Structure 1
C-alpha cells in the first residue's frame, strides 16, 4: 500500500503560489527566525502548512501600506518614524542612486517630500501592499 501524499506545500510550490523566486524562498525566507517549521516530508522535500506560510508572509515579508498625510511634508527621519519600513539612510542612499524621487521641498537644505510623493514611491517598491483608495 502506498502512503497518501502529505498535505501542505513544498518550497517550490510556495514560490510558485506567491510569485517569488524559489531562491528567495529557500535562501532568505527559510533562514528567518520566524519561518514555520515543516509539518512533513514529500520525497526529499520538506512540506509546510500553507496557513502558517501565509501568516509568516503577512507578518514578516509583506510591508503594510502606511497612511501618510498627502499634503504634509516629511523628512527622511519623519518617514522612518512613520513606520514605512525603510530607514532614513536607505531613503538618502536611494535618492543618490535615483531610486527615490527628488524632494518636493529643500528649504534650509533639508530634503522634504509630500506624503503623496512618498506613498507613490513606496508603491513601486517590492513587498509593499497598495493601500485601498477610500
Structure 2
C-alpha cells in the first residue's frame, strides 16, 4: 500500500484493540533495502514497514506519530506519578492508568526497535525520495 493508493488511511492515535496492543518482537526480521518499522500495525495487526530512504510524506507522518506517541507517554507518566502520590485514588482508576501505561510502553518499545533497525541499516537522513512503499510483513 502506498500513500497514493486511494485505500491508504492515516493511522489513528491509540490504534489497536482495546484489550492489549500486539507484542513487540524481541528481534527484528531480516530487512534488506532500508525498511522502516512504522509506528502502527497493518489492519490485521502485523508489523507495517516502509521502504524508503527516510524522506517522503509517509516517513514524515511516521515521525509525527512517533513524536505524538512519546509526548503522550510523558503525559501518562506525569499522571501516574500524581496518582501514586494520592492515596485516595480508586482501584478502577489505577487499572485504567495501568492499561494506558502498558500502551505507552508498547509504543516506546516499537519506536526504539524501529530506530535501532535504522541505525543498524546505516540509514542516510539526507536526499530526496520519489517513491515510498508501505507493506506488512509476515512475522
Same fold flag (TM > 0.5): no
- Structure with higher Rg: it is 1
Q: Higher relative contact order by CA 8 Å / sep ≥ 6: 1 or 2?
A: 2
TM tier relative to shorter chain? under 0.3
TM-score by length of 1: 0.23
Q: Quick check: which one's strand share is greater?
A: 2
TM, length-normalised to structure 2: 0.22
